[in-house]
A and B are shown apart, each in its own frame.
Chain A
């Protein structure tokens, strides 16, 4: 790094390599350094162990759950099937996430994972509580929209500490949740299956391809 004088005789900081006629101005180098620092910080504060293939499997189980729930006689049976699917999906997510994190040497006790899970679980807990309240009031019609909206919100908020595809997935779930709130229950139930099934499969494949499994 050297200081050169321009034609007006003013000092300018510059980087100069042997034989290169036009050294890069030092302020550009400083800008690139600050960019590098920001990228390193973002990389270090992101929880990247989002299981893509795990998402695909969750999507497939959700499609099965949607078909099973479609044939149920009562709303409480419909609810039981989806609650069972939630448990199955949580187990798949946990197993595939732990596996991916181990392979990448990512810790669950570190600050990035902690920030991710706090942001992720806040809307999920709200969704679980609302499920109890709405089911007890017999207001099952509101459940598909509530689940899609809060599940999407969990990805939008936790996505701030993860890979860029996560908040995009969250927004898609939320948009579907808004639409689901304005349709009849059979259509809402179908959209629920399309959301938990289709969006999980779509984003699962994208995440697996771009972020190593």
Chain B
């Protein structure tokens, strides 16, 4: 006689902490690593050329271009194109809005550390 199929034991799902989908309100545009590095580098330099930025970030031409363009589109970055002899030269600087956004971002991070870390 075939044994009756055992009723599968219901294993309780692993207890998970209730997670809400609230996101802290901070600037997503600056939050991306490459863009954060671009803004940080420009915070300590009045202006940086494309090649200097590439050397500081240790990244590719395309990466610098794409992320700088996003910051420029948001009004955080000023991009000045000129010629040095026959060579095109691109220089980046932070706009007043970019400086404010960067300061606000740092303030936000510090507030998170104070509020959540309690330190």
Contacts and interface: CB of A to CB of B under 8 A. Distances in A.
B19 A4 contact: yes
Contacts of B14: 21
B36 interface: yes
Interface string A1-43: 1111110000111001000010001111011011011001101
Interface in B59-116: 106, 109-110, 112-113, 115-116
Interface centre among A3, A13, A37 (most CB of B within 10 A): A37
A105 interface: yes
A26 B110 CA distance: 11
Contacts of A41: 40-41, 43-44
Contact of A44 (B31, B44, B110, B113): B44
Interface residues of B, number: 37
Given A27-B112, A27-B113, A27-B117, A2 B52 contact: no
Main secondary structure of the interface of B (DSSP, over half): helix
A33 B54 contact: no
A183 to B, nearest CB: 43
Interface residues of A, number: 33
A105 B20 contact: no
Given A16-B19, A44-B45, A105-B55, A34 B40 contact: no
A4 B23 CA distance: 11
B19 A3 contact: yes
A2 B21 CA distance: 5
Contact of B18 (A5, A16, A40): A5
A13 B17 contact: no
Interface stretch (A106-114, A127-135, A172-180): A106-114
A16 B55 CA distance: 33
Contacts of B6: none
A95 to B, nearest CB: 20
Given A5-B18, A26-B116, A36-B37, 9 more contacts: A1-B23, A2-B23, A27-B117, A34-B110, A37-B106, A43-B56, A44-B48, A110-B47, A111-B44
23 contacts: A2-B20, A2-B22, A3-B20, A3-B22, A5-B18, A5-B20, A6-B17, A16-B19, A26-B116, A28-B117, A30-B109, A30-B110, A30-B116, A30-B117, A41-B41, A41-B44, A44-B40, A44-B41, A44-B44, A45-B45, A106-B52, A107-B52, A111-B46
